[in-house]
Structure 1
Amino acid sequence: MFYQFNSANGLVLYIAVSLDGYIADSQGLVEWIKGEDDAVESEDTFTPFFSNIDTVVMGRKTFDQIVTELSPNRWPYIGATTYVLTYRNEADVTGNIRFRNMDACQLVEELRQEAGGDIWICGGAKVAGQLIEKNMINIYHLAIIPVILGGGVRLFDGSMPKIGLTLIETKKYNGIIEVVYSQR
């Protein structure tokens, strides 16, 4: 079985990235996230990962992409409370989808004070970047997709600090390589 991080209120970045480091193409799209052979079904490492998650944190663009493109008819993260970071003052959609106009680091600090399972940083680059910059992420779980985009939304920009990591596990299937690192 593939590695499962499980610690109370641990912060996990679980995200797909192109070989050249992008999480979305230049139009903000993610349809390129797939294996090299469309006829081969990719392995499901998400379901076991998500079984330890009780809180999801994402930016507004990621939320909009999920509800308009990726899963318009059904919210995919049922069973977890989702926090959407936005500059807009919006009412919560449901008790399980909450909008917050605040810094990602501040939100995570508040969430870590509550009892619960792991916290998943779903996206996007700005939210992840704030947390990486403050070295708050415990686990980096990256699915490296066999594509070079040549531009788009970069996961790691030039302003990130040096962070030492320890390799926990790797898995490969259909041209995708998943790597899991923890803070050193």
Structure 2
Amino acid sequence: MRKIVLFIAMSLDGYIADKDGKVDWLNGQSSNEENLDTYSAFIKNVDTVVMGWNTYHQIVTELSPEEWVYDELTSYIITHRELPSTNKLIFTNNTCDIVNQLKQEQGKNIWICGGANIIQQLMQADLIDEYYISVIPTILGSGIRLFGKIPKEIKLELVHTQTYNGITDLVYKRR
């Protein structure tokens, strides 16, 4: 069975975007220090990405308007908008059902890349197997929270940590 992995960065106070939805604060404490390329190692074990409309829209309008950055992956965009899908870019509207279906299929890991609403739905349904969270050395004070209310606690086991340029990566798996 495939693993559902949340791979995301958050501020020290738990936000994944600032109050305007921006992520330009996602960097280490110094531009002179080297950052580890944790993404390249992570993505080798992934063939599917799931994200919400806001994350998708930010990628195609701000972060990478010239090309779809996840071209090598099958991308599922959770939205209520009715948009035409392709073989590799699928628009759908049922978060937990599609993730449950994907989990049963053959393939590599499934990456939950954002946004908060999608993540919180999957957490409430206890569908996330691993949490890979990079804590950025910034306190935003407000914005879009990573974690919301869940009906019951989720017990995790810490499996890896690393620190570079003020960023701390925390990797947990569900117990």
Query: If the length of structure 2 is used for normalisation, what is the TM-score?
Result: 0.96
Look up the SS of the partner of 1:179 in the other structure: strand
Structure 2, gaps ≥5 residues long: none
- Per-residue CA deviations over 1:87-135 (Å, capped at 9, x if unaligned) read 111111x321110122x11111111221111000000000000011111
Query: In structure 1, which of residues 82, 99, 104 is the aligned counterpart of residue 91 of structure 2?
Result: 99
Per-residue deviation, 1:158: 3.1
Which of structure 1's runs of 4+ aligned residues deviate more than 3 A? none
Match of 1:25 among 18, 31, 51: 18
Alignment root-mean-square deviation, CA: 1.1
Equivalent residues in 2 for 1:18-167 (5 A)?
Answer: 18-92=11-85, 94-102=86-94, 104-159=95-150, 161-167=152-158
The 3 A distance-change label for structure 1 pair 180 and 56 is: same
Deviation, 1:68, is 1.1
Equivalent position of 2:5 in the other structure: 12
User: Are 1:170 and 2:150 matched, yes or no?
Assistant: no
What amino acid is aligned across from residue 88 of structure 2 in structure 1?
A: N
For the residues of structure 2 that align with 1:179 and 1:121, how far apart are their CA atoms?
16
TM-score (norm 1): 0.92
SS state at 1:74 partner: coil
Cα 1:142/1:39, change in 2 over 3 Å = same
Distance 2:153 2:3 in 1: 20
Amino acid at match of 1:49: F
For the structure 1 residues 74 and 160, does the alpha-carbon distance in structure 2 shift closer, same or farther, using more than 3 Å as the test?
Answer: farther
Query: What per-residue deviation string (whole Å, max 9, x for no partner) do you get for residues 48-82 of structure 1?
Result: 10011011000000000111111112221122100
Q: Report the number of matched residues.
A: 175
SS of aligned partner of 1:98: strand
Gap regions ≥5 residues in structure 1: 1-7
After TM superposition, give the deviation of residue 160 of structure 1 in Å: 5.3
Checking the alignment, whether the CA contact within 8 Å between 2:134 and 2:169 is kept in structure 1 is yes
